Structure 1
Amino acid sequence: MDIIEKVEQRLSLYASKPTVLSRKSILSQFFLHAGEKEDYTEDDAISFLNWAKNHYKGTSINHVYASLRWFYRQVLKKDLQLKPPEPDYDSIEAVPLSRKDVIRLILATKFIDDPMIRTFVALSTIYGARRKEMADLTPEDVDIE
């Protein structure tokens, strides 16, 4: 049984489909990065985590770390001695929108033609996304599906 079959067998024990999909996606990137082999070292994990820090942001890095830790413990039966990644903090605190601005933005969504953008603006306004957070978003950060 090769390593990918072992991963799929272990993942099939999970009840949560999103967890299975997330781990499969991350580990397939790991196998592309480190190469497909029977044994992986901690150096492989460190190298991939460093690569991921340049390609992912925020909680995605934590998902990568959790997936690697799971893979090493559950599939390889090794304890990964990596320290969890620390979150990045902005040096400038983002200011929340005023009540008046929130109302204006919600009303403005009526005039946005694209339904995907209209929904995104309405939801982000209602759930309190701050201007700085909105400005920092890129299309890759938003998964509408």
Structure 2
Amino acid sequence: VGQRYKVVQNEELFQFGDALLDGGRWETAGSIKNGTVVFGSLALDRETVLDPSGVGDKINNYLLVHTSHDGSVAIQASVTPVRVVCQNTLNVALHKSNVKQSYKIRHTQTAEGKVAAAREALGLAKTYLDEFDKMAHQMILTLSSN
């Protein structure tokens, strides 16, 4: 950790998440690695509904915010269909196939003033969610035809 490193408190991370979504609902929050890594998931108002047989299966989407207190992870906000509750689900959520839109802030910078840029970057998440919907429905059609 360098001299310019700025510790981001848990409260600041969650305030950043609140500012990104304007009233989103927190679904999960936790810490792992003895409190070194902190995460939280806000539910998005967008879900994917798969309905091949009238069941109406739903895939919820989340805004994941996470950081570390040891400099190993930047402050990061990502859109993902994974509800993070532990290290395993955090790993899955952050895998490149699940995170198409994310925004990172180094610990040498302050999250203040970065909300607009993060919103713009994450606004592209609609494109990701549209593609996710198409891919999920294509998978259902492929399964149904076999």
| Common topology (TM > 0.5) | no
Q: Higher strand fraction: Structure 1 or Structure 2?
A: 2
Scaled by the length of structure 1, what TM-score is found?
0.27
Q: Structure 2-normalised TM-score?
A: 0.27
Q: Which has the larger radius of gyration?
A: 1
Greater length-normalized contact order (CA 8 Å, ≥ 6 residues apart): 2
